[in-house]
Structure 1
């Protein structure tokens, strides 16, 4: 098979029989895509003549994974595409098993999918987030018998796939959700060769006693048995984290129709799985029939956990404060079609920030993410995509049941998972004419019972549906202190009040938006207009930038400065809440959404501590200073080139660090050493008041943690010259490297002084040979964006040619810049 493929070859030797190689091949290359519907599958396979003007429509060559909405999800001028799209390829089939099966294994495709071999429909699936397979064995054999197979396709097998993310009220998640419902083959697609009898699933339940000295492993299996074989035999192996065989056992089955218990083991003093030491054992199960052997391997971990009644969370018998975040499957330039390397980078950045818990919002996510959570030591809340909008009819409810079932069965073995989410914000009405709380409660109870029946070992949970809070095991209310309601200083009091209302409390979703590269000398100014004591819960309309009560989400400056203060306060308070199970701030990475067109970056939810391309914001280091042990120190303001104020005015310089103490130097002069105290807000006491000099200032910090020393350094300009309102735009090229030119626009007053508080929207355009690097959903990669401190940036791929960059802003004259190589 041509192109780059991922090929797993497993040679099995069991009972004296050597099987053929079991193959799983990632189908990444040699695809074509059409972003529209066609009259029928025949239009995807009919013969065409090169150069024939009737050979329409035109398909584009792409690689998988691929998302319809890689760019239009954040196009500021249009709604993102929701509709059908087609994919096609040709496969060379080489199944090594004489009586084997050939399958297509989808790791996820959005949202309704149909699969064809030539013109024969072989399968369909509803739901964009669970895994599924299609057996194409018979369709291949039938097609091989046709003349067209050899004469036109030279023995290759044409595959066509139709994906559709059209709006449909009777599917989940709701279109009212604060994220895009993407379309496409946005997770990996695999070609799988299996023997006639193979393993479909392994269910491995690893337990330990309360003392952690005795482990027990119970194993069930479900076989893929389309030929209705009646008996089989196999082998089970347990391998420890270092690769040493712990035990093995053979088994025989006489009933292959149902899930079968095939073995159990006791393990003395197992290595326990935890965030600090995520020890993973391997369970290997093989099944033999007719001289052929199939094998599967699963990772498991020995650990126990407890949500103490009206108390904290325990892992392996000890209190663990869950330090969490959230994740959407979304990334600059590719939307949901993230590669393994992108996902690994993202999860490693979370771990490096100190995260030990994650809520995967609001749907089953890629197997790659769950594997990374297991290996990195990040506990997981994973939930079905019943999100907002109310409750639909039978099709809607059947889909929810199936997706809950698939999620639990497909991710059953992951030791990282401790919570199954039943839904999100199910009190949010709007999709249906009738909104019936009792029907929602009834269905929530059914889903809760289903989750416990499928997996008695884990807990269930929901976030924000007060009239259902008694149903799941763990409940998370709405507390958005300092953003959607109230002041962030009210966080602890509100949390204590909510904690007393339920048996098991967790705080999912808190934080706020920040426009990357925007900073403020007075970030808390808007708080003076917000009335305390009116609640901190999110309510309908609070995300709007217009009307309603005063709130930071509407009246604040959306600066990184403000959000750092909000995070800093929450984190220092959490250290004084011994009853707290934990919390998860919303969200690790900025992500696209169809319901926020007026944000500083249109169609972006900007609550991340990193941008959509994983560029860290300043707030990333606030969390790192509280949650990590490896020595670090970060001066606030790496992305703040110019500060402002009066001559001689003292300015606060903050350092976020986990060091015991730190010394600050400004322009070579020491401003003393300060000790870190987490309760000394802000910056845990590591702050200095300094009179900056007009012009450039060199700022350095040296931190000490035990015998280890770390340092950080930035340079900042200090502007004392005052400005009037923006009067014109200045455009300049500030860098040109490796074929990429970076363009900066500044807003200045009539005297040419930069307006450092200007937040005007600017719009970039380009004509010529270059390519504007826009529609990325980042502060530096958006065609329309609000200015940050009177400036905005974008990049252009010059393509070794000539181009003209244009910049517009309402009320100001348009400016242009010629780019020449």
Structure 2
């Protein structure tokens, strides 16, 4: 069941034939594994919907009737049989594993809550929607085993505090991303995180994370870019071995020239290949620089959402979205509002996009921040975010707590803790949060970037005016003056959200709200303001494509229960604003 690599320069995914009987070929994101036995479990799984009011402590796996099949990745509440249903479901598959082996289950993301069973025994739970999570356990007796993943998409703050009903995106139930099952050697390599230290010499530090029976000194071979292996033996501390080396014949990663390197670390019975880029990200004098070159970040906020698949992202959809973004003249994507699919980040690495990736949060209150379960979950998911995406050179900004309550002093501990958490894991990137509190925000001083979500001319001050487009420019001019007077002139400023809704295909000669004409007029002003104003470091328009949101009465401001502010609709059909934004971004 070992994989073999396919080194296509554009895809750079491993195409692995794991099951020769079914000839199942699947593209796998980095990291890649060259020696250990592992299997990608994507495909048709047995499925059982238990109901909408299940007591999770009383679930009896032996009585479950698996009379259906469901795709993995997939979400049951986007299917014709269970549309919009909230409840508990079981996904089951049969797998082979050697007796009494160390196993690792890697899940790219689930929603909203999960419990994992191996041969009927609970081996782990997941309360972090969208986060990539790993669960270690022993295979036990025998060679044939049963893996069951219980999924619960009911809204329960105590059990799953990170997602709430009022969030302006839909919380689906299912297995969002790839599932991998690894059989581990006695001592295995979890990850190798590469940190660029010197862009002039190609010096990098490599942190090798180990688990299992860990030696005091770790002996391994290392090769860059598939070249000659060299042997090393390094001291292990707290499960980590580290080394500093110069990458031979290195080339810098930049948006204009997204050069990438690989490092392969191997032992007798394990091996890992990580991909990385050598680049430096800095903020100074109101600018964001990559390798010392100022960058104007032009792009969109993007949800992982589709009307047919929910949060599941088929590979052609990833390519389609990125092709549209390239055509629009974008060099920047803000992944909202949760950890992103690693395949998407792989492609951003290769195509030269700059990415803002953030942990999940949406308009959270002081009551949320005072709750220990919420506080701890925020720290755990934010730490995982950084660790999982560390090697992506495209990720230049870490973010958290979209539109949280940053105007209340009692919330300071939450913000300060998340800044400290991220910077403790990674000091090589910029850190920010998207605020909608404008001048009332108390914590901009902590941030590397001032990031503002605001919708002047859409959620207008003058509600009597038919087309309040004249509110847009003064809103930003006044905010910039206020921040400069506050002593924040040297911090870069990103318009992290701005937009207007438009129902695809609705045209009105009055060019009023919800028409494609109003959205086009609105984004023409916003996009050109961002492009032309040197004080604006970047813009991520809200948002790339229409996406399903809440289905309760919260949706009274969301026609069709869709957030219609996309420049493309939910099926990726461009609206009038598409060509307007394209013209603005491409003439920068």
TM-score in terms of structure 1 length = 0.61
**Partner residue in 2 for 1:578:** 534
Q: Which of 605, 630, 633 in structure 1 is aligned with 2:563?
A: 605
Pair 1:421-2:429 in alignment: no
Deviations 1:6-44 (A, max 9, x none): 4689xxxxxxxxx99434322122412223356778743
**Partner residue in 1 for 2:10:** none
Preserved CA contact (<8 Å) 1:3 1:30: no
Q: Which of 566, 588, 599 in structure 1 is aligned with 2:544?
A: 588
Shift of 1:315: 2.4
Preserved CA contact (<8 Å) 2:383 2:422: yes
Q: Which of 56, 62, 70 in structure 1 is aligned with 2:78?
A: 70
Q: 2: distance between equivalents of 1:7 and 1:363? A: 24
Structure 2 residue matching 1:457: 3-state secondary structure: coil
The 1:260–1:254 alpha-carbon spacing in structure 2 relative to 1, beyond 3 Å, is closer
Structure 2 residue matching 1:255: 3-state secondary structure: strand
Preserved CA contact (<8 Å) 1:312 1:578: no
Shift of 1:322: 0.5
**Partner residue in 2 for 1:463:** 434
Q: 1: distance between equivalents of 2:34 and 2:353? A: 37
Pair 1:365-2:327 in alignment: no
Q: 1: distance between equivalents of 2:495 and 2:232? A: 45
The 1:266–1:20 alpha-carbon spacing in structure 2 relative to 1, beyond 3 Å, is closer
Q: 1: distance between equivalents of 2:102 and 2:45? A: 23
The 1:392–1:183 alpha-carbon spacing in structure 2 relative to 1, beyond 3 Å, is farther
Structure 2 residue matching 1:587: 3-state secondary structure: coil
Structure 2 residue matching 1:597: 3-state secondary structure: helix
Q: 2: distance between equivalents of 1:8 and 1:330? A: 20
Structure with bigger gyration radius? 1
Shift of 1:234: 0.6
Pair 1:162-2:138 in alignment: no
Preserved CA contact (<8 Å) 1:272 1:302: yes
Q: Which of 233, 257, 271 in structure 1 is aligned with 2:219?
A: 233
TM-score in terms of structure 2 length = 0.84
**Partner residue in 1 for 2:505:** 517
Pair 1:89-2:98 in alignment: no
Q: Which of 456, 459, 462 in structure 2 is aligned with 1:481?
A: 456
Q: 1: distance between equivalents of 2:81 and 2:296? A: 36
Preserved CA contact (<8 Å) 1:388 1:425: yes
Q: Unpaired runs of 5+ in structure 2?
A: 1-18, 462-467
**Partner residue in 2 for 1:265:** 246
Q: 1: distance between equivalents of 2:542 and 2:49? A: 33
**Partner residue in 2 for 1:196:** 186
**Partner residue in 2 for 1:306:** 282
Please tell me the root mean square deviation across aligned C-alpha atoms, in Å.
2.8
Deviations 1:84-128 (A, max 9, x none): 2211121133x5xx9853322111111221111222112222211
Shift of 1:379: 0.7
Q: 2: distance between equivalents of 1:302 and 1:5? A: 34
Instruction: Report which of the two has the higher share of helix.
Output: 2
The 1:231–1:323 alpha-carbon spacing in structure 2 relative to 1, beyond 3 Å, is same
Deviations 1:699-730 (A, max 9, x none): xxxxxxxxxxxxxxxxxxxxxxxxxxxxxxxx
Deviations 1:419-470 (A, max 9, x none): 1113111129xxxxxxx93331111111111111111111211111413222
**Partner residue in 1 for 2:134:** 133
Shift of 1:222: 0.5
Q: 2: distance between equivalents of 1:20 and 1:275? A: 30
Q: For residues 581-660 of structure 1, what are the structure 2 equivalents within 5 Å? A: 581-594=537-550, 596-598=554-556, 601-628=559-586
**Partner residue in 1 for 2:211:** 224
Q: Which of 451, 454, 460 in structure 1 is aligned with 2:422?
A: 451
Preserved CA contact (<8 Å) 2:70 2:76: no
Q: 2: distance between equivalents of 1:33 and 1:490? A: 52
The aligned length equals: 538
Shift of 1:506: 1.2
Structure 2 residue matching 1:602: 3-state secondary structure: helix
Preserved CA contact (<8 Å) 1:219 1:262: yes
Preserved CA contact (<8 Å) 1:73 1:180: no
Q: 1: distance between equivalents of 2:218 and 2:401? A: 40
**Partner residue in 2 for 1:352:** 327
Q: 2: distance between equivalents of 1:113 and 1:458? A: 32
Please identify runs of 4+ aligned residues in structure 1 that moved more than 6 A.
38-42, 72-75
Deviations 1:227-248 (A, max 9, x none): 3444431122222xxx6x3x75
Pair 1:28-2:14 in alignment: no
Preserved CA contact (<8 Å) 2:280 2:428: no
**Partner residue in 1 for 2:464:** none
Q: 2: distance between equivalents of 1:470 and 1:87? A: 46
Q: 2: distance between equivalents of 1:404 and 1:207? A: 23
Shift of 1:176: 2.1
Shift of 1:575: 3.3
**Partner residue in 2 for 1:255:** 236
Preserved CA contact (<8 Å) 2:531 2:584: no
Q: 2: distance between equivalents of 1:156 and 1:30? A: 18
Q: 1: distance between equivalents of 2:105 and 2:207? A: 24
Preserved CA contact (<8 Å) 1:73 1:592: no
Deviations 1:179-220 (A, max 9, x none): 1122211111112233221111111012444xxx43221111
Q: 1: distance between equivalents of 2:574 and 2:377? A: 37
Preserved CA contact (<8 Å) 2:204 2:245: yes
**Partner residue in 1 for 2:120:** 119
Shift of 1:601: 4.3
Deviations 1:445-502 (A, max 9, x none): 1111111111111121111141322222212123312211253334333223322413
**Partner residue in 2 for 1:14:** none
Preserved CA contact (<8 Å) 1:107 1:188: yes
Shift of 1:305: 2.7
Structure showing greater relative contact order (alpha-carbon pairs closer than 8 Å, 6 or more residues apart) = 2
Pair 1:279-2:259 in alignment: yes
The 1:410–1:393 alpha-carbon spacing in structure 2 relative to 1, beyond 3 Å, is same
Structure 2 residue matching 1:386: 3-state secondary structure: coil
**Partner residue in 2 for 1:721:** none
Preserved CA contact (<8 Å) 2:209 2:239: yes
Q: 2: distance between equivalents of 1:445 and 1:323? A: 28
Q: Unpaired runs of 5+ in structure 1?
A: 10-18, 47-55, 145-154, 429-435, 524-555, 629-657, 659-677, 679-821
